[in-house]
Chain A
């Protein structure tokens, strides 16, 4: 299964890549929503993990765009919170079509477990 991770913090991307690869997934990454869309167009993935507060194109906008343009994709939103706190942002993300939401610091084993759950119900293409 292919997963795209969008986060502006390269340390976070490195960490996610490490965990996801260990779990046997193929990982793509992008540092903002705009680049994420480009990556998706070049080589479509099954699942998107998207941070919410980012420069250039932030998460809420990115999730909306993915939901519209790639309706098949599974979306997991992650956030460390910002000016109005993590919960409200994530609630918005969920409302907009994120399948699951995680607050940072992310419980990585739980994240992997959640991805496997999605994989089971949607199957790999």
Chain B
């Protein structure tokens, strides 16, 4: 009978010697210098008889034995361990190493003798089809255990115990990107068995999902081609393996004369879920705060209206009850009172409706310097000692409703005046060109070009706790008074700025003063004509909006269409992917701008969607949109592949500003 034998040893002399012995015994012999090589050969060769060393680089003999035993195809193979450490490691080898015989390396003569006996045993076993494999051993006479070897083995075991007990999953790779060792945590995280991983190329070994391409690149460029750079999968866009949430690091490591790779896996499912829970709690808290602000506003509105209605109804009732006995003059007086109160009510509704402004309103090209000079001058009755205007940029234009801007400016001036009645108020007109989004005093201001109006007073200032509440309607540090709409001032400013795609940022130091900055999207100075900005050739202006909320999608579509875009709204990424693939076949179709809503409740991660769309067309410009301005995607949108980020709620002007910023960059 022809016996197929595989000899594995990293010592080439011994390898040739043992191969020769087996050939003399009539076997067909193949040899391998490492466990990894042995596994590759075994796959096609399917040996009947394996002689292996234990301590070898690139898949040890012990791993090899385990994998062969656990692989169905190799289950019946007769395994002989031929090692210099058998004597010192005898008990453990008997307990843990899955082999049929172990031979302690002696001189060549002894090895020949022992290998022959092993072959003899294999022949007997295969003829009698023995059931239970009994391990046997061959130890040369007079061989003494070496203390040094024992110590080294002890140390080795120590490290392998540490590795086995690490919480992190560790995958070791050879310099060709093949898996050569895996610890038990890694097997747990990946929910698979060692034998299905060892020898596999890293990109094929695990279901990496959307990270596959990156991992192929890392393996090729950093590990195999010695680029030697690390790659990480972080927790803001983690790996999803079965039901586990995992982060990973990929490190190329160089040793004295070779190099290898490590892949470290961390299961963060628990932490991730805890964070998600905290996020939910925060959202609940946000809701409570929002409801607080709403009830505060509702109470304030009710108070003001009830007073007005008392005056209106009370006067009308008098006329109704006593009218016949009254002079025309007296009646007129009462009706005038009722009318005046009605007009105050009308004015109040105007202020309030400012918050729900859809933004499809009056817009014209406004010269900021002129508007500021006029509004401020009129506010102070042209008393020059009361104010000081500094213009740091000339001829700046914005697209705005000049009356609304004047109201906003007036409200801020009123606050400044009340905070600091005796000193001149300083007004600065300047501009900012933000290349990254800014977080200022809790306000998120997206990247882009802005004209800035600062109103600075040197009054008593606002404490930092109050700063977060100053925009709440009817929240006022001033006392309630008969003046209707008091407490709406900054809320109105906020609403007007938001409707213009602008922002209001308040910085304050108690006892030193307050600076209120109004940021208004700036028109490109070379194109001061609003019409030219609004309607470039229509076929160039397509937008795909991915928004899971139907209503917001509809509103977005209406606003963007009004801005001259042809808009398609998809509730998830599949539609957009199909649309872009279709376009790929027809390059005459213009490349659309993409807006992706970042939504916590949505299953699809916006970052992944962005990545997927870029795989279809790397030149796509993709904008992130979110109501959570502290979301890492909003703050570091470039890192995620986005070109800009727009906060929700959006308005016509904020959409215009961001799309213009993107299209003109």
**A binding-site residues for B, Cβ under 8 Å:** 8-12, 14-16, 18-19, 22, 53-56, 80-86, 103-106, 108-109
Contact = CB atoms under 8 A, between A and B. Distances in A.
B638 interface: no
Closest 5 CB pairs of A and B: A80-B306, A104-B306, A105-B309, A55-B479, A9-B482
B303 A105 contact: no
Nearest to B304: A80
Interface in B287-310: 295-296, 299-300, 302-307, 309-310
A86 B307 contact: no
Given A10-B482, A55-B481, A82 B303 contact: yes
A19 B317 CA distance: 10
B307 A9 contact: yes
A106 B340 CA distance: 18
Contacts of B482: 8-11
29 contacts: A8-B482, A9-B307, A11-B311, A11-B482, A12-B310, A14-B337, A15-B310, A15-B311, A18-B318, A22-B318, A22-B322, A53-B303, A54-B480, A55-B480, A80-B302, A80-B303, A80-B304, A80-B305, A80-B310, A82-B303, A82-B480, A85-B295, A85-B299, A86-B302, A86-B306, A103-B306, A104-B307, A105-B306, A108-B314
Contact of B480 (A11, A53, A85): A53
A100 to B, nearest CB: 16
Nearest to A83: B299
Contacts, number: 82
B299 A105 contact: no
B637 interface: no
A15 B315 contact: yes
A109 B317 contact: yes
A112 to B, nearest CB: 10
Contacts of B309: 104-105
A81 B300 CA distance: 8
Contacts of A19: 314, 318
Question: Is the interface on chain B under 10, 10 to 19, 20 to 34, or 35 or more residues?
Answer: 20 to 34
A98 B307 CA distance: 20
A20 B277 CA distance: 60
B301 to A, nearest CB: 9
B18 interface: no
Contacts of A18: 318, 334
A113 to B, nearest CB: 12
Given A9-B307, A80-B304, 20 more contacts: A11-B307, A11-B340, A11-B482, A16-B314, A19-B314, A19-B318, A22-B318, A22-B322, A53-B303, A53-B480, A55-B481, A83-B296, A83-B474, A84-B299, A85-B299, A85-B302, A104-B309, A105-B313, A108-B318, A109-B321
B544 to A, nearest CB: 44
Given A8-B481, A18-B318, A82 B299 contact: yes
Contact of B310 (A22, A104, A109): A104
